[in-house]
Structure 1
Amino acid sequence: MPDTLRIDRMPMTRYAELIASTPVILPIGATEQHGPHLPLGTDALCVTAIADLVGAASGALVAPTLNYGSRSVPRSGGGEEFPGTTGLSLNATVTTLMELLDQFADDGARHVCVLSGHYENTAAIHEASFQVTARRADLKVVTVLWPDLLTPETLRKVYPEDLEYPGLDLEHAAFLETSVMMHLYPDLVDLDLAPSAELAAFPPYDVYPTPSGLVPSSGCLAPSTGASADAGKAIITECVTGIASVVTTELGQ
């Protein structure tokens, strides 16, 4: 584990010494299906590891990860119909984040980075951050979805020549997440169970209840063909460097 200032591993006296002068990273993931070859906790596991690495690089405090996130959407996560996918309502996610941001601020925090590993968390994070900072002039919040720090150059470098980056919404349990998990948690990945290459095709709208057969039965929305730990390392390296720079530049650390 990197040398990280983990809030849950320090006494309150140390926390009280640091909180007013040190940015806080609040990671939020999800618990949802990631195909037959990746664990349900993929989003939370990845964002936790990235938060630790960013904390070590930037000197920020790292809060415990929220392992549950906003409800899975069929066109970006497969939806709630898959076993093990356990999502929160938008209101519940917003409320939880608002209460945590308020409590960090009450403790003296002035700078918080909400770091997400789950695409569907975006709306809730933005709403919570807007609501809290609108009434607290003493708090600055930066929100980051960690894959957003990937550059087109890195994506071209790590993706196999015969595989095209499908966009972040379809990169669910596919090449990117599989590679990152192979780098961070190789013992939790079983490539023998990875489905054959397929790219989900969705209409540009949503229907509820979700029509049968709309989402691939594997739960994967794009191919994981060619995924590797080396690709995952390159992805993580760029994202950690970029997020650490954001924390340093925007939150003054």
Structure 2
Amino acid sequence: MLILCKETYTMELNMSFPKEVKYVQENRIPVVLCGGTVEYHGPHCSYGCDTLVAEGLIKKLAEKKEIMIAPTIYYSPSSYAVADETSGTVHIEEDVFEAYLFQIFTSMLYAGHRNVYVVIHHQFEQENLKPMTLSYMKASQRAIMRYLENTQGKGWWGSENYASYYDNLDGSDDPFSWIKVIPTMSTEVQNATGYDHAGKYECSILMSLYPDAVKLERLGDIKHWFTESAAEASKEIGDEMVAKSLEYLEKKIV
């Protein structure tokens, strides 16, 4: 939460004004956006599952530490790995999506943002990099590189201004850390709790965050191997997953 002029503001970019944005930038407060999907998750789990998990965690994180929440990016390379085009999944081709992200990140850089986090739940098993995550990573690094060339000229990195580059890797002075792409759940958190697609664990964390987004009574409507374990889902399991995820995110987003 941000307090200005004795008024309390919700730290959401789309509800903010230049004064709030300036405050965020001057104080290097993290700007966090969720990378979402619209993807089939069986008959019992909502299409927005991956998006809702990321959004729900970030909203809870905002209650624990000062961040600014940027608008979610919903449509993305969901892929048709789980189900085909008739399933309701919305898939955006990676090249098209990356070009779109490049424009978003470029605009954010010119606006002065230097501490941006993209949080993703979709296809991030064991922190392995799948097409959607790679699109975010590639677009962000391309945008940073292009921005630096446009604002500091070609040869910017080789200039004396960056003589201390290797001393500042991963620090706030490293321009390539201005935009980071991270999972909702680290490998350690996944190993400690569990991770799946529309099964016991994903349904549990979604039940904890958005109970109305899971309808276990519909589980038998359509049978899939990956949804069978959802019968064991519970809010209690989800609460533990949320707690461990928040503990990780609170340390990761700085």
- TM-score category (smaller protein): 0.7 to 0.9
Q: Within the alignment, does 1:190 sit opposite 2:190 as a pair? A: no
Q: Alignment partner for residue 229 of structure 1, among 209, 229, 235?
A: 235
Q: Within the alignment, does 1:64 sit opposite 2:71 as a pair? A: yes
Cα 1:41–1:52 change in 2 (3 A) is same
Q: How far apart, CA to CA, are the structure 2 residues paired with 1:16 and 1:219?
A: 50
In the alignment, is the contact (CA less than 8 A) between 2:185 and 2:248 conserved in 1? no
**Runs ≥4 residues deviating over 6 A:** none
Residue 54 of structure 1, CA deviation: 2.5
- The secondary structure found in structure 1 opposite 2:253 is helix
More deviation, 117-126/84-93: 117-126
Q: Within the alignment, does 1:243 sit opposite 2:254 as a pair? A: no
Other-structure match for 1:151: 189
Q: How far apart, CA to CA, are the structure 1 residues paired with 2:183 and 2:122?
A: 7
Q: Alignment partner for residue 105 of structure 1, among 99, 109, 131?
A: 109
In the alignment, is the contact (CA less than 8 A) between 2:219 and 2:227 conserved in 1? no
Instruction: From the two aligned structures, give the one with the greater helix fraction.
Output: 2
Aligned pairs, number: 212
Other-structure match for 2:91: 87
Q: Within the alignment, does 1:174 sit opposite 2:212 as a pair? A: no
- The secondary structure found in structure 2 opposite 1:49 is helix
Q: How far apart, CA to CA, are the structure 2 residues paired with 1:217 and 1:226?
A: 15
Residue 193 of structure 1, CA deviation: 1.2
Letter in 2 for 1:40: Y
Q: How far apart, CA to CA, are the structure 1 residues paired with 2:248 and 2:240?
A: 12
Q: Alignment partner for residue 129 of structure 1, among 133, 140, 145?
A: 140
Q: TM-score, normalised by structure 1?
A: 0.74
Residue 13 of structure 1, CA deviation: 3.0
Cα 1:82–1:244 change in 2 (3 A) is farther
In the alignment, is the contact (CA less than 8 A) between 2:31 and 2:116 conserved in 1? yes
Letter in 1 for 2:212: D
Cα 1:225–1:6 change in 2 (3 A) is same
Q: Which is bigger in relative contact order (C-alpha 8 A, separation at least 6)? A: 1
| Post-superposition CA distance 1:92-136 (Å, at most 9, x none) | 221222211111111111111111121152121121122123344
Q: How far apart, CA to CA, are the structure 2 residues paired with 1:44 and 1:152?
A: 18
Cα 1:102–1:28 change in 2 (3 A) is same
In the alignment, is the contact (CA less than 8 A) between 1:23 and 1:111 conserved in 2? yes
Whichever of the two has the greater Rg, that structure is 2
Q: TM-score, normalised by structure 2?
A: 0.74
Residue 222 of structure 1, CA deviation: 5.9
**Superposition RMSD in Å:** 2.6
Letter in 1 for 2:115: H
Other-structure match for 2:21: 15
Residue 23 of structure 1, CA deviation: 1.8
Other-structure match for 1:160: none
Identity of aligned residues (%): 22
Q: Within the alignment, does 1:37 sit opposite 2:44 as a pair? A: yes
In the alignment, is the contact (CA less than 8 A) between 1:38 and 1:188 conserved in 2? yes
In the alignment, is the contact (CA less than 8 A) between 2:79 and 2:91 conserved in 1? yes
- The secondary structure found in structure 1 opposite 2:85 is coil
- The secondary structure found in structure 2 opposite 1:30 is coil
Residue 177 of structure 1, CA deviation: 1.3
Residue 144 of structure 1, CA deviation: 0.9
- The secondary structure found in structure 1 opposite 2:217 is helix
Residue 218 of structure 1, CA deviation: 4.0
| Post-superposition CA distance 1:53-95 (Å, at most 9, x none) | 2233331211011111213241xxx044342101111012212
